[in-house]
Chain A
Amino acid sequence: MQYTLFTDRLKKDWRYQKGILSSVIDWTIVLYLIIPAIFFSGLYYRSLWIDPPVWFTLINWTGCGLLFFFLSLSSKWRTYLYEADTVYLAKRPEWIRKLLQSGFFYNLCTSFFFSLVVSLLFLPFTIGILTLSLLQIVLLLLMLTIIRTTCKLFLSWIDFYAAGSRNTLMTAGFLLAAAFGIALVLTGITMFPVLMILFIPLGFWWLKRLFNRTMADPKWLPNHGLQEAKWKVRWIRLVFTLSKEVETPPHTKSRKRPLLFRKSTRILKPITPVTGMLELFLKHHLRNRKFIYYYVRILGLIVLSAFLIPMGWLFAAAAALLAAGCVTIHKLMWETLIDKHSIGVKYRYDKSYEQAKNWTAVAMLTPIMVIAMVTLLT
């Protein structure tokens, strides 16, 4: 019964997410974007097998592992426990325990699948350049699964356990320890694969123990429900952010005071309409770094393009595309604050808004332009 409940919830969630995605991804996007992207990526992947590029030799093995580790941080632990469970399942603790166990297994499976995809993508490098054996590749896959599951588990739990600076310190400590651990594991796999076999059962045992001590603790039950409710609407939130006609959905901060500029310290002086707008933009986006992450990813992509795209005209096209992406992000950053916000909307036709937008557009586009120009000229 409990397992049926979990699978029912899982299916319901998939159907729900599918419904949201199908409302924005129609057949034209599939036909003109997704299928060509898969086709050309497939061709490129094949070419990596046939003729491994020279830059493969420049790839740092530990760096790859750390890249995977940082990718693991973006995912959250799913329990499929609802807020209502604290009321309706309160008298059935064994049901909740089974749901949590199923959740553990589910998270392990999704982590395994993700690690499998990453391992397959890296095969031309791991087999072609590092000449890893099948045993080493399987070991790597299992290790990656354990690492990703641990990251998901620990970072989701830390949000329940600690707030404010304590949360930041614990997260930073975990990240450092885990990064060091992964570097050791990767070295171990290449140098002592047989020894590393021993670490696999140890890793799973430790993971299970960590789970029982953290997420499986009954006192976090209400937090699971809230976390799930937030996670469930992640795609809707993204669609809302991209939609012009929908007001920015408010989200409640769990912390009482911001971490940065705790005493409402001003960044820009004197107080004028333009500095007022800029102050709002800076403080909001420095404290809520969702859009900053998108921007940093664009910067990362343009730097990567500078190294990977050999032809000047192709790089220029890629840079133009990324600059267009940056303009879109910049537009969304302001719309969230002014055009689609109940407080800001009345200032949407103000001259100060236009001026502030121009300033921030220049600030955000300048690094992209500089990187593009330097790359094209050299």
Chain B
Amino acid sequence: MLNVDVIEGGYEPNDARIENVHFSVGPGELVAMIGANGAGKSTTIKAIMGQLPFFEGEAEIKKGLRYSFIPERPVFYEDLTLWEHIEFVAAVEELEKSEWEPLVHSWLSRFRLERVIHDLPGSFSKGMQQKSMLILAIMSKPSLWIIDEPFMGLDPSATKLLLETLQDERERGAGILMCTHVLDTAQRIADRFIIMSSGTVHVSGSLDEVLEACNVSSGTLYDCIPEGDL
């Protein structure tokens, strides 16, 4: 679904922010990308999304694959209401109204956003914005999710809902790439881990492989973060 082979990439020429980043995400797999601030997680995501100005290598989402991207900071069209965002996604993704409308209404109700569908998302709280982004992602039933810091700003019940949704999506066969700082949650739900440090992959693999590579077989992911990054 997603193959990433970054040789190097950055925001200015001759100033590589990420180097030698290689990984893939398969169907039904949840891959957690973790690391300290500035480790290169968001830059890698930008490379995947084709938003990195200077880039060498390949970071390709399989052609024709439907995917959803949730950035770290919720972003909306500042002059479109929540419902207009939903209709826009439905239109450009060519979704069947009979399918997306009930799905969207059920999510709006679960997130208690029904009363604000004709409001501008810019006036929402951070949590409401995050929930709105999730609805926009869920409604197209993507085969691949790319999520940057999904738990930021969510209240406990919404976090629980998100975790359940991610589980449902995996069972449906969707691949998920998730960047996060919440290590204990990542450890609990992810199939594989990519620990980034100083713009490159420090260690990657399943939990056991990662812990073994870090010589902390009985420890946690926290023990795998390089000393200098803590």
CB neighbours (8 Å) of A228 from chain B are none
CB neighbours (8 Å) of B50 from chain A are 345
Binary B-proximity of A45-88 (CB < 8 A = 1, otherwise 0): 00000000000000000000000000000000000000000000
Asked whether A284 and B79 contact (CB < 8 A) given A253-B123, A276-B87, the answer is yes
**Cβ 8 A contact of A264, one of B71, B84, B122:** B84
Asked whether A346 and B49 contact (CB < 8 A) given A262-B118, A273-B94, the answer is yes
- Judge whether A277 and B92 touch: CB under 8 Å: yes
Output the least CB separation between A140 and chain B (Å).
Answer: 40
Q: Is B90 an interface residue (CB 8 A)?
A: yes
- Judge whether A276 and B120 touch: CB under 8 Å: no
Binary B-proximity of A280-304 (CB < 8 A = 1, otherwise 0): 1001100110000000000000000
- Judge whether A271 and B90 touch: CB under 8 Å: yes
Residue of B nearest to A263 (CB): B118
Residue of B nearest to A274 (CB): B91
- Judge whether A283 and B79 touch: CB under 8 Å: yes
Interface stretch among A23-31, A108-116, A323-331, A336-344?
A336-344
Binary B-proximity of A244-256 (CB < 8 A = 1, otherwise 0): 0101001111011
**Cβ 8 A contact of A341, one of B75, B83, B97, B120:** B75
Q: Is B111 an interface residue (CB 8 A)?
A: no
Range of interface residues on A (Cβ < 8 Å)? 35 or more
Which residues of A in the span 229-265 have a Cβ within 8 Å of any Cβ on B?
A: 245, 247, 250-253, 255-258, 262-264
Output the least CB separation between B95 and chain A (Å).
Answer: 9
- Judge whether A256 and B84 touch: CB under 8 Å: no
A5 to B92, CA, bound (A): 53
Which residues of A in the span 298-352 have a Cβ within 8 Å of any Cβ on B?
A: 337, 341-343, 345-347, 350, 352
- Judge whether B87 and A264 touch: CB under 8 Å: yes
- Judge whether B78 and A288 touch: CB under 8 Å: yes
CB neighbours (8 Å) of B75 from chain A are 250, 341-343
**Cβ 8 A contact of A252, one of B77, B90, B118, B122:** B122
Q: Is A165 an interface residue (CB 8 A)?
A: no
Asked whether A341 and B77 contact (CB < 8 A) given A276-B92, A346-B49, the answer is yes
Binary A-proximity of B81-109 (CB < 8 A = 1, otherwise 0): 10111011111101001000000000000
Q: Is B23 an interface residue (CB 8 A)?
A: no
CB neighbours (8 Å) of B117 from chain A are 264
Output the least CB separation between A254 and chain B (Å).
Answer: 8
A264 to B84, CA, bound (A): 6
**Cβ 8 A contact of B91, one of A245, A255, A271:** A271
Residue of B nearest to A266 (CB): B87
CB neighbours (8 Å) of B119 from chain A are 256-257
A273 to B87, CA, bound (A): 10
- Judge whether B76 and A258 touch: CB under 8 Å: no
Residue of A nearest to B61 (CB): A346
- Judge whether B69 and A280 touch: CB under 8 Å: no
CB neighbours (8 Å) of B77 from chain A are 280, 284, 337, 341, 343
Asked whether A280 and B80 contact (CB < 8 A) given A272-B91, A342-B69, the answer is yes
A288 to B80, CA, bound (A): 10
A98 to B19, CA, bound (A): 55
CB neighbours (8 Å) of B78 from chain A are 250-253, 288
CB neighbours (8 Å) of A283 from chain B are 79-80, 84
Q: Is A360 an interface residue (CB 8 A)?
A: no
CB neighbours (8 Å) of A263 from chain B are 118
CB neighbours (8 Å) of B94 from chain A are 272-273
A60 to B180, CA, bound (A): 65
CB neighbours (8 Å) of B88 from chain A are 276, 279-280, 343
CB neighbours (8 Å) of A262 from chain B are 118
- Judge whether B91 and A257 touch: CB under 8 Å: no
CB neighbours (8 Å) of A252 from chain B are 78, 122-123
- Judge whether A257 and B79 touch: CB under 8 Å: no
Residue of B nearest to A276 (CB): B91
CB neighbours (8 Å) of A171 from chain B are none
- Judge whether A284 and B80 touch: CB under 8 Å: yes
Q: Is A275 an interface residue (CB 8 A)?
A: yes
A256 to B79, CA, bound (A): 10
Chain A to chain B contacts (Cβ below 8 Å), 21 pairs: A250-B122, A252-B122, A252-B123, A253-B79, A256-B119, A257-B118, A273-B92, A275-B91, A276-B88, A276-B91, A280-B80, A284-B80, A337-B77, A341-B75, A342-B69, A342-B75, A343-B75, A343-B76, A343-B88, A345-B51, A346-B69
User: A interface vs B, CB < 8 Å?
Assistant: 245, 247, 250-253, 255-258, 262-264, 266, 271-273, 275-277, 279-280, 283-284, 287-288, 337, 341-343, 345-347, 350, 352
